Structure 1
């Protein structure tokens, strides 16, 4: 059992954002860092994977849908015409060991955390890495999502939608730590700290101009500047993201 966990998610291949969050004192002091998926699909895929693996046993990496898809693209198992351009590019940068690493990541992961008991860490939901649930998703949908989840799991930590929140779902605590490299709502790295039975949603501001400049200089992706100016700067608002994601949580069928 660990007493403190720093939760990071959705880095999307943005090394300066990852470095800024890893430099946070509470992240450095945490017993464990859990990264809940979508690590490399972005402009600095290999650099981010190398930095994460350098954390060694201090880090547990969970598979995200983009991690699975990058490996499938690299192996020719994912239809290229259905992939984002930057994902096709990122998949082409991966070394053989990177592809195997991403393909073998677990989803979900259950850990014992002091003050919480068993905690399930996932990307989309415990049952699927690409399933969408939101802060305002209806309880009936959450009940579907949690089908088969053991009764003694009272906390679920997820990612995927790039917007931080905590909420109760019929007595279960749900946490989304937000995104490190592609935030929706406000720029900067969003993450969470689980400590002492409490959840602390945290936000790390960093030099956006410098981060964009570094990504452009260090990435070989042709359209890197436009990508970084939009995603690293957090241009997409939470309202815009909710309007896009909302229909995907099944609410239209209710």
Structure 2
């Protein structure tokens, strides 16, 4: 299987794709994922790339199975939350920072744990109009360090060190806030979060090729909250769903919390 995976990855890197939909930080929210997959341009995309934190949330097993049903058109990249679920299930850690993490880890089947464990940390594709595009979760070198839309140039130079010269675009996730910015001659794209958006409700994603198009899919959030509350056994699921599906964490609050983790001075403005 490893040889087949490597051969497929080599083929993907050689082939140029016209349209690529990027879904990040689904966090086990099935109604949000269903809404994005129903978008005509997602259905028509050459590939769907997942940039990590796929399952850590209220419906981890259901989200994984729906994505697997999409077949080889979906390309998976792992995030820190996916890694934490695997480590917890395999006894390599005794706690997870996100309170819902242990519940999500316990809800996974063994095959799903194995799938998450095998996910690559980066993926490179050729996309029409953008050339070589590197997909990762947080940064190309680490699945949980922080860079933000307003991170200083020196920070970007640090986290992008060592990338091939022909990698003109980097697509990441992790911070749950969408942005596009140019830094050191490379375009950096964060599609935001499908399942746990900060700052603005809706399922956020991105369409690549030939440009970069940040998208947000509206869906019936009260109905989704009611559905999660009825179908998920996590204690406090109603409050969890109300907080994250309604995006009660503002972008200002998120930037204030994340800011010190990108290495800026503690008194720097976000």
TM over 0.5: yes
Which residue is equivalent to 1:21?
36
Which residue is equivalent to 2:50?
35
Deviation at 1:252, TM superposition (A): 2.1
Distance in structure 1 (CA, Å) of the matches to 2:229 and 2:257 = 28
1:75 has 2:90 as partner: yes
Specify which of 76, 84, 98 is matched with residue 84 of structure 1.
98
1:243 has 2:237 as partner: no
Distance in structure 2 (CA, Å) of the matches to 1:222 and 1:136 = 36
Distance in structure 1 (CA, Å) of the matches to 2:161 and 2:94 = 31
Specify which of 235, 238, 244 is matched with residue 231 of structure 1.
244
Which residue is equivalent to 1:107?
121
Instruction: Output one character per residue of 1:205-225: Cα deviation in whole Å (capped at 9) or x when no partner.
Output: 111101101111111112111
Distance in structure 2 (CA, Å) of the matches to 1:60 and 1:207 = 27
Which residue is equivalent to 2:157?
143
Specify which of 18, 27, 42 is matched with residue 12 of structure 1.
27
Distance in structure 2 (CA, Å) of the matches to 1:50 and 1:83 = 25
Which residue is equivalent to 1:50?
65
Distance in structure 1 (CA, Å) of the matches to 2:76 and 2:145 = 18
Q: Which runs of 5+ in 1 are unaligned?
A: none
Instruction: Output one character per residue of 1:57-102: Cα deviation in whole Å (capped at 9) or x when no partner.
Output: 110011000000000011111132x533210111011111011110
Deviation at 1:174, TM superposition (A): 0.3
SS at match of 2:215: strand
Specify which of 165, 180, 187 is matched with residue 173 of structure 1.
187
1:201 has 2:232 as partner: no
SS at match of 2:100: helix
Structure-2-length-normalised TM-score? 0.91
Q: Which runs of 5+ in 2 are unaligned?
A: 1-15
Higher deviation after alignment, 229-238 or 215-224: 215-224
Deviation at 1:116, TM superposition (A): 1.1
Structure-1-length-normalised TM-score? 0.97
Structural RMSD (CA): 1.1
- Structure 1: 4+ residue segments shifted above 2 A: 82-85
Instruction: Output one character per residue of 1:124-153: Cα deviation in whole Å (capped at 9) or x when no partner.
Output: 000011111000000101001011101100
Distance in structure 2 (CA, Å) of the matches to 1:227 and 1:113 = 37
Deviation at 1:186, TM superposition (A): 0.7
Deviation at 1:3, TM superposition (A): 0.7
Instruction: Output one character per residue of 1:25-70: Cα deviation in whole Å (capped at 9) or x when no partner.
Output: 1111110000100000000010001011111111001100000000
